[in-house]
Amino acid sequence: MKYASFFAAAAAALVSTVSAAGVSGAAEGFAQGVTGGGSATPVYPTTNDELVSYLGDSSPRVIILTKTFDFTNSEGTTSGTGCAPWGTASNCQLAINQNGWCDNYQASAPKVGVSYSTAGTLGILINSNKSLVGQGSAGAIKGKGVRIVSGAQNVIIQNIAITDINPKYVWGGDAITVNDADLVWIDHVTTARVGRQHIVLGTQADNRVTISYSLIDGRSDYSATCNGHHYWGVYLDGSNDMVTMKGNYFYYTSGRMPKVQGNTLLHAVNNYFHNIEGHGFEIGSGGYVLAEGNAFQNVDTVVETPISGQLFSSPDANTNKNCQSVFGRSCQLNAFGSSGSMSQADTAVISKFSGKNIAGAHAASNIPAWVVANAGHGK
């Protein structure tokens, strides 16, 4: 497919809008049908307290961000003794002793003093029926992530940046947490410089989630791999999760891009994995992954082995015809440039998509240019 025709198809998809004011486009894949705050009158928070209140109340809300909301040190700082599991070099992440992690799992690691922004360790609660939308390229949350948990459902996060959450420290905070939720759409979001996971789906059922056209920017002064590439990328660990990842830009990471386990069905389609010094996919027990139409450039290890779960990796045109029975089309080949590869073809994964909302797929050849130009907030 030519670049122009791919762009036209994607642009046409964005013409159809959710009824929510401020929200553009509609979710593809598993979160199809999400409406967030629906037709609620938009609100424009001006303070951190207003933002927290709007996100956490019980009313349907369309919340428009017109500036950066900086939570850094808003709850003071916490100091204590942590550890250095990956060494004490200046570019290595240190670890907070979260729930005794240093004592129980890294007992042999050198002990070090830690001091971090308390606000970063627990994200802002987002209740059901919310749309959180950035205006232009202005909307951002700094120093604190967000949480969609405890039964929350029907949530849209679109066109915002979430950044600078204790990047020096593992357990310093996650950008987006989803746990015990349903119908969540994360779209055109940029995450950068976080302590732990950019996006994490916890061990309780997260049901239907779509992550689309977002930028996971792994560039950081601190890394668990001590190479400037963030290790803790996307962790999908639910007990009954269906996740669509489409059109995302995974850049400058070193691991967990994504890590899939628990009982998670993942459709990874038309994503661009770029400059990963380490591994991309990590598929544990209970992870069921169909990866098609993705592009990998300068990725050391595309999928970590051994694979404990199941993977259909679109290895060749003949094998991809197995998708026809459920998808109504062949699956798209993945593309590899100066990268490792993946060739596992667990066809049993395909049947798990039967009767579900499945995102469309394009050929991988033009994905890098299109994703770089269009993924992330402000685009």
Tokens coding 214: 């977002």
Determine the Cα–Cα distance for residues 168 and 115; give it in Å rounded to an integer. 10
CB atoms within 10 A of CB 238: 28
- CA–CA separation, 357 and 210 (whole Å): 11
289 domain residue, yes or no: yes
The pLDDT of residue 19 is 42
Q: Is the pLDDT of residue 59 over 80?
A: yes
How far is C-alpha 358 from the geometric centre of its chain's CA atoms? 18
Is residue 341 in some structural domain? Answer: yes
> Residue 201: which CATH number?
2.160.20.10
For position 56, what pLDDT does the model report? 98
Give dist(CA 375, CA 379) in Å, integer: 7
Nearest CA among 21, 54, 210 for reference residue 125: 54
**pLDDT band of 328, cuts 50, 70, 90:** very high
Asked, for residue 138, whether it belongs to a domain, the answer is yes
User: What's the pLDDT band for 188 if we cut at 50, 70, 90?
Assistant: very high
Q: How confident is the model at residue 247 (pLDDT cuts 50, 70, 90)?
A: very high
Alpha-helix residue ranges (DSSP H) falling in the chain: 3-15, 48-56, 101-104, 324-327, 348-351, 367-374
Q: What is the pLDDT of residue 142?
A: 99
Angstrom distance (rounded) from CA 347 to CA 321: 10
The answer on pLDDT for 10 being more than 70 is: no
Q: Which one from 61, 193, 208, 256 is the annotated catalytic residue?
A: 256
Q: CB of 325 within 8 A of CB of 347?
A: no
Quote the pLDDT of residue 3: 40
Q: How far apart are CA 15 and CA 5, in angstroms?
A: 16
pLDDT at 65: 98
pLDDT category, 339, cuts 50, 70, 90? Answer: very high
Our count of domains for the chain comes to: 1
Give the domain extent around 265: 3-75+120-374
Whether 51 maps to a domain, the answer reads: yes
Whole-prediction pTM: 0.95
pLDDT in tens, 67-101: 999 999 999 999 999 999 999 999 999 999 999 99
Domain-located, residue 200: yes
| 36 in Cβ contact with 157 (< 8 Å) | no
pLDDT band of residue 356 (cuts 50, 70, 90) is very high
**Cβ–Cβ < 8 Å for 132, 64:** no
Is residue 71 one of the residues assigned to a domain?
yes
Residue 207 lies in a domain: yes
Query: Are the C-beta atoms of residues 120 and 144 closer than 8 Å to each other?
Result: yes
- Asked if residues 192 and 160 have their Cβ atoms less than 8 Å apart, the reply is no
Is 19 a domain residue?
yes
User: Is 256 among the residues known to form the active site?
Assistant: yes
